[in-house]
Chains A and B, each alone.
Chain A
Amino acid sequence: MAVRVQAEGFDPGAELSGFACGRTDVGAVVSFTGVVRDTDGGLDRMEIEHYPGMTERAIAAMVETATARWDLADCLVIHRHGAMMPGEQIMMVATAAPHRVAAFEAAEFLMDYLKSRAPFWKKEFGTDGSGWVESKDEDEDALSRWE
């Protein structure tokens, strides 16, 4: 299990190649990569603020919940903060399990919780100025299916 909160970019392919590598008890690996999206063609960059200390604790707690709930062999969470350009990777989740259902569900669970329970705040800077990305009700609603 590994959690990394970092400003630097990362290579999702390289991360995935090394993930759960050489383990013979793993039958399924699932990964998700979040990318900075330029919705209307006017985005210059995104800046992500976070709460150092709480961020790591909150993600570690999510990973702990996921490993208690699903039969996971390994789990990786990488989340960036600071400035990033459209097309750059923001974050990545990977899960490895004996069976695919556990790997898929745990990855979705982690994604849903990272979205609205990890202390990150996105701000977009574009040709029309800047603004904080607002949370969506559907992101909050997504958590209820895991209760």
Chain B
Amino acid sequence: MLDVMYFAWVRERIGEPREQVETNAATVAELIEELRRREERYALAFSDLSALRVALDQELSDFDAPLDGVREVAFFPPMTGG
């Protein structure tokens, strides 16, 4: 079971800030494919991966990264701090 979190416009498009996802996805990319197939709002949020970033257990990562041992996945647009 994965804790999946969404921030900024990703959160707005999906309509919730976090959810528990039951998945056998081996990588972030596989998880995204599973989510995309679920519902239109996911397909919309994940339509352009170049506009997205991912963090695994609160560390920036990439879409090829394995999910083995990961508890928390977060998707968000490029950060705009400062």
Partner of A115, one of B5, B58, B80: B80
Asked whether any CB of chain A lies closer than 8 Å to the CB of B15, the reply is no
Query: Do A135 and B77 form a contact, CB below 8 Å, given A53-B58, A54-B58, A115-B82?
Result: yes
B-contact 0/1 string along A34-67, CB 8 Å cutoff: 1000000000000001010110011000000000
Asked whether any CB of chain B lies closer than 8 Å to the CB of A12, the reply is no
Give the secondary structure class of A's interface: mixed
Among B9, B59, B77, B80, which residue has the most Cβ atoms of chain A within 10 A? B80
Asked whether any CB of chain A lies closer than 8 Å to the CB of B79, the reply is yes
Chain A residues within an 8 Å CB radius of B74: 51, 54, 119
Q: Is the CB of A120 within 8 A of B80?
A: yes
Q: Could you tell me the distance in whole angstroms from the C-beta of B67 to the nearest C-beta in chain A? A: 17
Among A119, A120, A132, which residue has the most Cβ atoms of chain B within 10 A? A119
Bound-state CA distance A51–B7 (Å) is 8
How many chain B residues have a CB neighbour from A under 8 Å? 17
Asked whether any CB of chain A lies closer than 8 Å to the CB of B60, the reply is yes
Chain A residues within an 8 Å CB radius of B2: none
Q: Is the CB of B81 within 8 A of A91?
A: yes
Partner of B7, one of A34, A79, A118, A121: A121
Asked whether any CB of chain A lies closer than 8 Å to the CB of B42, the reply is no
Beta-carbon contacts under 8 Å, A75-129 to B: 79, 90-91, 111, 114-123
Chain B residues within an 8 Å CB radius of A34: 82
Q: Is the CB of B8 within 8 A of A79?
A: no
Task: Rank and list the top 9 A-B pairs by shortest CB-CB distance, nearest first.
Answer: A120-B81, A135-B78, A115-B82, A121-B8, A54-B58, A118-B81, A114-B82, A122-B80, A133-B80
Known: A120-B79, A121-B79. 20 other contacts (CB 8 A): A49-B8, A51-B58, A51-B74, A51-B76, A54-B58, A79-B81, A91-B82, A114-B81, A115-B81, A116-B81, A117-B60, A117-B79, A117-B81, A119-B7, A121-B8, A132-B8, A133-B80, A134-B78, A135-B78, A135-B80
Binding site for B on A (CB under 8 A): 34, 49, 51, 53-54, 57-58, 79, 90-91, 111, 114-123, 132-135, 140
